[in-house]
Amino acid sequence: MRQTEMVAAAIRARHPELKIAIVGMTTRGDRILDRPLAQVGGKGLFVKELEVALAEERADIAVHSLKDVPMEIGGGFALATFGVREEPFDAFVSNRFASLDAMRTGAVVGTSSLRRECQLRRLAPGLELKALRGNVNTRLAKLDAGDFDAIILAAAGLRRLGLAARIRQVIPAAQSLPAIGQGILAIEYLAGRSDLAQLLAGFEDRATACAARAERAVGRVVEGSCEVPVGAYATVRGETFEIEAFVGMPDGSRLVRKSASGACAEAERVGDALGEQLLAAGGRDILRALQASHA
């Protein structure tokens, strides 16, 4: 809701003649809190109800965190990035420890992200990881109640909610590559709405759009979803970018990480090629093992 309010304010500031109304909705991803997303349907849980509202013309646009949008969206919908990317990395939040490195063996860390779990287990195998679902305030309340020694959240969400002071450490990419599209706002709308495409084009940040295209191309190749621990992060400089990506097993026992670079004009091609590199270097075996475990 906070992100939607930010988008509405930005549109009003540039187009004061437009009347804007916010339609609040709760998705299955918001309601199912007793199981990890990987067990109940993945990223699509945060999108489906909003797409129905668009199709039924109860809403003109839907505001998403790009990291929650499936790599493939329905043919009747279009997607546009909105504004400059917020802090893309994960945040370490704790009332007891100053950083990940300061945590003792056996400390309890809350996360329900397989991507975070994979990298944390590899980085600090002595930690105890426990599932943590709910919105940001719910997760912080569980931390403050003493249920966890630390929790891992997206730094972008904390900053947008005015809770940056809760961040003890922004975890660098060297330790934890972020989710594909993390920190990027995305707007979904009906593909035939050329009026909306024109309106939203004015809010696109070229560097953010380049990173989104490259990272999502990697995800499409390696079947990126909540069921597959995968991360990618593109750093854009002018008209070129560098991108790192990984795919791994949830327990951290296997992880393949590769990097690439190229021109923003070829963001999808470079992302596709990097995804293929990950698969060839062992990612395909990881995917087979994950599929076998879910069979």
Active site (catalytic) residues: 68
H/E element holding 79? strand 77-82
Radius of gyration of the chain (CA): 19
Strand 230-237 and strand 240-248: the pairing is antiparallel
Beta-carbon count within 10 A of 195 CB: 10
Taking Cα atoms as reference points, which of 95, 102, 89 lies closest to residue 150?
Answer: 95
Compute CA distances 8 → 27, 97, 174, 186, 200, whole Å. Answer: 20, 37, 35, 13, 12
Token reading at 67: 């990291």
Taking Cα atoms as reference points, which of 148, 132, 145, 147 lies closest to residue 35?
Answer: 132
Phi, psi of 66 (to 5 degrees): -60, -30
H/E element holding 39? helix 37-40
Identify the sign of the CA torsion 15, 21, 24, 29: negative
